Structure 1
Amino acid sequence: MFFILSKTLHFFLMPFIWVLVLLLLAVFLKSFRWRRISLLAAVGILLVFSNPFLANEAWRAWEVKATPVSELEHYDLAVILTGVTAYREDIPDRIHTHKGADRFLHPLQLYRMGKVDAFLITGGSGRVLAGAVPEAEQVEKVLLMAGVPEEDIRTEGNSRNTRENAANTAALVAQNPEWQNLLLVTSAFHMRRSAGCFDKAGVNTTSFSTDFYASERRFTPDETIIPSIHAFSNWHLLIHEMTGFVVYKILGYC
């Protein structure tokens, strides 16, 4: 039930939906005053949320900063959270990834540098109704193709959210006492909630952020005043994650 509710909430947190509803109100409301308020609100949301400078500042404030590779210790295990692949029934002969593929590419780099001994990939299918190949298995295939030995990869394909990632990982860690030093790898915007869930589950980890949306501050016109459709669309992800963090806090998940 919680999984379905989270997917429903994901839809209603889209700024595009807010604008669409306000524009419909501006058309169909009988009161001229409220039609005008709805229209101005829609324009205001478009202007604020499409401003690239404001969006970047919000991302900079929320994302957990990068840890320089040179500062990392040696880790027994890199715990990789999924959410970066998409199974396609019509094109099943390859792995399809999203922007967040850094979640497994960066720990692969650490593995090649000798800073990580093995991988635990946690994540099932993110679909509400139809089944699909667990994301953990899809990421495992990529690592195997990259030359990582099968014995250095463990997968957990039942988790459907961050809380379950942490709980299922905790169960595996309890069964493998040799896993002492763990590196938690996920997107920078997702690290606050992830680290909180793993702490709550009793799994001690070191955070390693990847997949950054924030960038350095730039004061050129295209980065300050010219509207950006990418800035507008990325707000949906940020609002969703911030809301998820608050909900998890209220429910005691992190």
Structure 2
Amino acid sequence: MFFVLSKLLQYLVMPLLWVLALLVFGLISRNKAKSRKAFLMATGLLLFFSNTLISNEVWLAWEPKPVLMKDVALYDAAIVLTGVTRHEKSPHDRTHYSEGSERILDAIQLYKLGKIKKIIITGGSGSLVSVANTEAQDLRQTALYAGVPTADILLEEKSRNTRENAQFTKELLQAHPELKKLLLITSAFHMRRAQGCFTKANVAFDAFPADFQTQDRRYTLDDVLIPNVDALKNWSKILHEWLGFVTYKLLGYA
């Protein structure tokens, strides 16, 4: 039930949906004052949430600081979280990334640099319908193409969300007591929730945030004055993550 509800709630935190709701109300309302107020609120929300500068500042405050690869110590394994592929896209003989491919690409680079000995990929499917491959299988394919030996890739394929990532990875690790020093890799915006879940599951780790959504601060006219659809998308993403983070905290998952 929680899994299905979490999928439905993500649509309620889309700023564009709020703007559209106000516009529809303004159009159907017979009260001219309320209609005018709805249109003004819709315009204000649209200008706020489509502002690149504001969006970037919010992301800079939320995402943790990056860890330079040269500063990463030697780890027995890196735990890579999935949630970055497009399972509904054909053909299914290759991996289609929606975003966040840096999760597995950074793990591959760290492996090539000799910083990690093995890669643990955790993730079944976050879809409500059946899929051709698990996400762990998809990311493993990318690692194999990059030359990582099959023996150095471990899969956890049952989890559907971050909480289950931690729980089922804990079970996998119990079968591999030799893997003691661990590096957790996920997108920077998702790292707080992931850290909470893995700590709750009593998995000791260091964090390596990847897939940063921010850009260096700049104050151009485009960023300050011109509405940007990417800013709207970024707000939807971070509001969804905030909702997930608060929900996990309230339920004791993280």
Q: Give me the TM-score of the superposition, normalised by structure 2.
A: 0.97
Deviation at 1:88, TM superposition (A): 4.0
1 CA distance for matches of 2:219 and 2:146?
40
Give the aligned partner of residue 104 of structure 2. Answer: 104
What's the RMSD between the two structures over aligned residues?
Answer: 1.1
What pairs up with 1:86-125 in 2 under 5 angstroms? 86-88=86-88, 90-125=90-125
Partners of 1:37 and 1:115 in 2: CA distance: 57
Q: Indicate yes or no: 2:226 matched with 1:223.
A: no
Q: Which runs of 4+ in 1 moved over 4 A?
A: none
The aligned runs of 1:205-220 (5 Å cut-off) are 205-220=205-220
Which has the higher mean CA deviation after the structures are superposed, 30-39 or 209-218? 30-39
What residue is the counterpart of 1:140 in the other structure? 140
Identity between Structure 1 and Structure 2 (%): 46
Q: Distance in 1 between matches of 2:72 and 2:46?
A: 41
- Please give the secondary structure, in 1, of the residue aligned with 2:155: strand
Q: For residues 185-213 of structure 1, what are the alpha-carbon distances to aligned partners after superposition, in whole Å with 9 as ceiling and x for unaligned? A: 00000000001100011001110010011
Question: Which letter maps to 1:26?
Answer: G
Q: Residue in 2 aligned with 1:17?
A: 17
Give the match's secondary structure for 1:160: coil
One-letter identity of the residue aligned with 2:71 = E
Distance 1:15 1:151 in 2: 45
**Paired residues for 1:15-164 under 5 Å:** 15-88=15-88, 90-164=90-164
TM-score relative to the length of structure 1: 0.97
Q: Distance in 1 between matches of 2:89 and 2:138?
A: 13
Amino acid across the alignment from 2:44 = G
Q: Which amino acid aligns with 1:67?
A: V
1:5-27: CA deviations, max 9, x gaps?
00000111111111111110000
Stretches of structure 1 that go unaligned for 5 or more consecutive residues are none
Partner of 1:234: 234
The whole-number CA distance in structure 1 between the counterparts of 2:98 and 2:115 is 25
Aligned length: 254
How far did residue 129 of structure 1 move? 2.6
